[in-house]
Amino acid sequence: MAKWIKRTVKTCLLAPVGAVAVGAVLLYVPPVQNAVLKVVLRHVSERVGMEITVGHMRLSYPLDLTLRDVSVRDSVCDTLLNVRGLSVSVRPWPLLRGEVFVSRLELDSALVHSKQMIEGMQLDGTFGRLATADVGLWAKKEELKFDNVLLADAEVALVIDSIPPSDTTDTTVNRWRITAERLDLQRVGFTLRMPKDTLGVTTYLGDARVTGISANLEAQRYAAGRLDIRGAYAAYDASERPRTVGLDPQHISASNIRLLVDSVRYHAGDLRVALREASLDERSGLSVESLSAYVHLDSTGVSVSEGMLRTTRSWIDLQARVPWAALSDRPTADLQAEWSAGIDGQDVLTAMGEQGPRLMRAIPDSLLYLSGLVEGNLERMRVHDLMGGLPGAFTFEAYGSAEHVMDERRRTGQINLRLQTESRQYLSHWIPEISGGRVRMPERMRVELEASLKGGEYQGRLKAEESGGRVELTGRYHTLRDEYAVDVRVDSLRPVHFLPKDSLYRLTAVLHAEGRGTDIFSPRTRITLRGSVADVHYGSYRLSGLSLDGSLLSHQAQATLSSASPYIKGKVMLDGVVRRDRMAGVVAIDMDTLDLMGLKLTKDPLSGSFQLFSEMETDLKRRHRLDLTLGNWAISTDQQTYRPKMLTLHAVSDDDTTRLSFHAGDMALVATGNADAPTLLQRLGNLSDAFMGLMARDSAAHIERLTPLLPTLNIQLEAAQDNPLYNYLQEQNIFFDRLTVHASTSPTDGLQANALLLSVMKDTMRLDTICLDIRHDSIEGLTYAVDVIKNRFRGQDAFTAGLRGHLLNGVAEANALYRDSRGETGLQLGVQAEQRGKAYRFHFIPDEPVLAFMPFKLNPENYVEMRSLKSISADLKLTGPDNAALWMHSSEDSTELAVEINQLDLQQLSRFAAIPDMQGRVNVALRYVPSDVSFLIAADANIDNLIFRGQPVGELLLNGVYLPLDNNRHRFDAHFYHNESELATVSAFYRQPQQKQAQGAIDGTMQFDRIPLSELNPFFGGAVDMQGVLRGQLTLESRDRGPIWNGYLQLDSTSMYVRAVGTRFRFDDQEVDIKDSKLRLTKYGIYTTGGNPFVISGTVDFSKSMKETADLRLVAQDMLLIDAPDGAPGAMLYG
């Protein structure tokens, strides 16, 4: 019985132990492991509301756990965690003591996606490998130790939308201590994005190692023995705007980062960093080759010692100590910072983004040296020995101090600066190069600056001297009262030394300005201006005696500009009101003298005087008014003085109407629109932009597309013979009786216009009526008609002429018609033009046109197509009576274009054109031969059996060649023949201007060895009979002042019989020189019967076209002038 009881007790006691042992043994059996895993995973998944799966698990003796294909998905099947493999080896026996020793921990290929599980942020990442060994955890002592930790091939992205506030009620003390012997990071990337702050940080560590890591969370003591980073990359973006060229502080990007830190220590606010070496390459092109410093930050302040930065070319050394007590309101300590630097210009331009070869070549290989010392605190700050310079260019030194730096009312300070430029060998190349030649630094310039601040008032004095010129500037500005004053005195300054491309050569002036406020619309703003210009030399202008007085007080503005210069004498006066909702004023100009030739605006004498009075008013929105009167004006030339009529201009604009009227004598211009002036100007601007865009795309005016953009306008112009327009045309020898113009535009009716000009006369030609009519509709497009009617006048035949055409859908048509007084058609020809792709195609109509009263026939499929100057094709043939023809043709296999005119009757042509009566046949052959880089034009022309006003002339022949050359040069050669004998040769070069407003240049020669003067007799109509020959040579050169002729002329055995007086004059055989466009005569003799000549000495100046002058001495004694008997044929005088 006792044995049974003992056996039963033992069984009961050993059964649990056996069950545990059996259970433990069963856990190493794979089927049991899988069954237990399924139960555990199902239970955990239900508790956390997620799907957790494990592809494979293996637990080996004693505690080696291996997991494969671990996955965690949320309720919508998004993967939150995915681990390919996890292996952990734990020593079992230390667990019995409450200690955990992990002999091996490896994580293989993990993916993390937190979605919105963490408040305000999202974490995404991939981890290639995480491995560590010999990890010890002592829970009771709250201590964690790592031996070696490796993280490789990891990429982590953290997006932070908001940071939740920390829990300040949690008083739990964290006493954990963590140490690690070594941490290796290989190919690890980290990205931080904060969308609300537009902040982004990206880093990549190619190879990084940290040793001696320790962290005491209770004592807040952190340390690292050594940090070594190689092949790293970092980027910082603080703005969404695009990156700028150069160093952009809001977009920093550095690569090839090398960082070596000897030690990092932090404890209770005390931070110590020993940076031994650092280098990097920034995106802008800047490269930091070396950076080292020792930084100490604690509760008393921050210090930097042995700070050193080196780039390829520049260097900076820094020593600084900033106690926090120096930055307090009541400082008890002083800060101190001392630096020295050598800055290379290449680094500056690289940081600015200017890396062009031109600028890089312009910056020489020299350093800008800077050094200085700052010490003090917010109560008193001092700058000592701030010096710098660029060897061979300039040096400067400055010093100053400031007190009560943070107190706006008590703040005071002063600064003194001296700058001295040295030899300009350096700056004369660098500054003009980077400024495109617009700016340069003169040699030996001295600048002194004294500035001070006291009680919110800034005061300054600047003095600069250069080449005898001086600039003195004094000024003050009170920040609290917004009051200012400035005085500028300029004495004999030569601004062209600073701005070589400008033309301001000398300036002497004085300016004083003072006031309060800068908002001209504010009632508290007051401004006073006083200034004068004693001497200003700009380009070819030189003015003096200019003065300015102006003021603005309580919305009232006044100003007077006076000039006592010899070329400009007068006053400009302004008086007005300046308000934010209304501006109104009066401007009066009283100009006594305005000499345009003295101001070098014209080459010929032209001066004037006038009085101008104008009133203006505007609400700065839509209501505007302007009244202008110009009177008492006179215009003087070298011939006479004109006193034009008074001019008046009235313009008014309100909410829905704009009206402009202009009157001068009997000339009146009135324009009205159905919108306010700003709206009207905007519509005109839109119309102009649309037209320019249309021309840029199609190069053809599709008027129908522009019609909807037309503003509603009406314009009327009336003028007779008492107005400035008539006076101007009168100077050009053009006269008329009356001019009338009516025009209107609208988006529905398009453009409508008609004009009438009566009795227009130029020299002896009078046109009785000129009419213009323009209409626009949706069917025919824009149609126009010009009609000219001429009645018989002074022996001139009457005729009618007209030009009609239209523009529609990009196709233009023009038809010309001419009829003489007998109603015979002298011209009937039209042309149709349109654009086809990038080519212009012309087709001539009708099939039977009329040219010079001669009927012709056109080939029906005629065309001329021009794609460019090097690509022109044509097939145009006109055939007329007596073998007359005009042919323009090209071939498909050649780019050559030929133009031929055959047997054109000059007698018929003289009936049509305003040329003398001639007979003969004209033949012309022209060849246009383009090439890849240029083209050639060769022409041959001749007139057979020319008869001029009934006098036979013979045969005339011309050969010419035109050839464009390189560098915008052109060459022309021509030969002239008469009856197969060469008369003259011409050779000329033309150079196109490089600038738009410049003039081209022509250089050439003209050679004539023997021109028989008898060949000119037919052109004098029998009035004279010339015998002898003309020889000579002329050269033409282009100069700034105009063309210059040089050479000589010689009359050989020359005589001229004048029938009007019945006398033959014989000319001297001596050469007549031409030099600088002046023909020089030295005792040149003209002889008649007897030995007493007519002697001429002096010069004839023809350097100014149409304004030739002569300075001659004429001597004759007992010379026979008239030798015609009474009744002699052609004689007008006898005796």
List pLDDT tens digits, range 163-222: 666 555 656 667 888 888 888 989 999 888 887 767 788 999 999 999 988 888 888 888
pLDDT reported for residue 364:
59
pLDDT reported for residue 887:
92
What the block records as the tokens of 382 is: 């001092």
pLDDT reported for residue 11:
58
CA 347, 350, 354, 358 torsion: positive or negative?
A: positive
* Rounded average pLDDT over 249-275: 88
- Among 563-567, 798-802, 1129-1133, the least confident range: 1129-1133
Query: Comparing 293 with 1016, which gets the higher pLDDT?
Result: 293
Residues found in the chain: 1135
> Residue 1088 and residue 743: Cα distance in Å, rounded?
66
Tell me, what amino acid is at 598? G
Q: Is the pLDDT of residue 428 over 70?
A: no
CA 975, 978, 982, 986 torsion: positive or negative?
A: negative
CA 344, 350, 353, 355 torsion: positive or negative?
A: positive
Chain mean position to CA 397? 38
* Rounded average pLDDT over 956-971: 85
> Residue 672 and residue 744: Cα distance in Å, rounded?
9
pLDDT reported for residue 947:
86
The mean pLDDT value of the chain amounts to: 84
Q: Are 150 and 186 in contact (CB under 8 A)?
A: yes
* Rounded average pLDDT over 802-825: 89
Residues in contact with 523: Cβ distance below 8 Å, sequence separation at least 6, in sequence order: 554, 555
Residue range 652-680, pLDDT digits in tens: 999 889 999 999 989 999 999 988 888 88
Cα 154 to Cα 194, 256, 609, distances in angstroms: 21, 19, 86
pLDDT reported for residue 16:
59
> Residue 501 and residue 841: Cα distance in Å, rounded?
46
> Residue 368 and residue 358: Cα distance in Å, rounded?
20
Q: Is the pLDDT of residue 770 over 80?
A: yes
pLDDT reported for residue 371:
92
Tell me, what amino acid is at 157? A
Q: Are 1108 and 1120 in contact (CB under 8 A)?
A: no
* Rounded average pLDDT over 773-795: 86
Q: Are 592 and 612 in contact (CB under 8 A)?
A: no
- Among 431-440, 735-744, 869-878, the least confident range: 431-440
Q: Is the pLDDT of residue 62 over 80?
A: no
Q: Are 41 and 50 in contact (CB under 8 A)?
A: no
The partner residues of 1031 in beta bridges, in order of sequence, read 1050
Residue range 19-61, pLDDT digits in tens: 555 555 555 566 766 777 677 767 777 777 788 888 777 777 6
pLDDT reported for residue 341:
93
pLDDT reported for residue 668:
94
CB burial string 211-229: b at 16+ within 10 A, e below = eebebbeeeeebbbbbbbb
pLDDT reported for residue 20:
52
Q: Are 524 and 515 in contact (CB under 8 A)?
A: no
> Residue 566 and residue 101: Cα distance in Å, rounded?
105
- Among 75-89, 451-465, 491-505, 694-708, the least confident range: 694-708
pLDDT reported for residue 438:
65
Q: Is this prediction's pTM over 0.75?
A: no
pLDDT reported for residue 810:
77
Q: Where does the pLDDT of residue 1001 fall: very low under 50, low under 70, confident under 90, or very high at 90 and above?
A: confident
Q: Is the pLDDT of residue 794 over 90?
A: no
Q: Are 946 and 956 in contact (CB under 8 A)?
A: yes
Query: Comparing 472 with 705, which gets the higher pLDDT?
Result: 472
* Rounded average pLDDT over 157-161: 82
Query: How much of the chain, in percent, has pLDDT values that exceed 90?
Result: 29
- Find the helix or strand (DSSP H, E) in which 95 lies: none
pLDDT reported for residue 200:
84
- In 3D space, the residue among 326, 327, 307 whose CA is nearest the CA of residue 317 turns out to be 307
pLDDT reported for residue 203:
92
Q: Are 339 and 372 in contact (CB under 8 A)?
A: yes
Q: Is the pLDDT of residue 459 over 90?
A: yes
- Find the helix or strand (DSSP H, E) in which 357 lies: helix 357-362
Q: Where does the pLDDT of residue 1041 fall: very low under 50, low under 70, confident under 90, or very high at 90 and above?
A: low
* Rounded average pLDDT over 681-685: 88
Q: Where does the pLDDT of residue 964 fall: very low under 50, low under 70, confident under 90, or very high at 90 and above?
A: confident
Q: Cis peptide before 62, with omega less than 30 degrees from 0?
A: yes
pLDDT reported for residue 634:
86
Q: Are 552 and 574 in contact (CB under 8 A)?
A: no
Residue range 747-757, pLDDT digits in tens: 888 889 999 99
Query: Comparing 1005 with 466, which gets the higher pLDDT?
Result: 1005
Q: Where does the pLDDT of residue 310 fall: very low under 50, low under 70, confident under 90, or very high at 90 and above?
A: very high
> Residue 768 and residue 604: Cα distance in Å, rounded?
34
Beta strands 121-133 and 143-160, pairing class: antiparallel
* Rounded average pLDDT over 1033-1043: 79
pLDDT reported for residue 762:
87
Specify which of 196-200, 348-352, 989-993, 1032-1036 reaches the highest per-range mean pLDDT: 1032-1036
Residue range 368-418, pLDDT digits in tens: 889 999 999 988 999 988 999 887 778 899 999 998 888 877 889 999 999
CA 281, 282, 284, 288 torsion: positive or negative?
A: negative
Q: Where does the pLDDT of residue 14 fall: very low under 50, low under 70, confident under 90, or very high at 90 and above?
A: low
> Residue 740 and residue 762: Cα distance in Å, rounded?
19
- Find the helix or strand (DSSP H, E) in which 798 lies: none
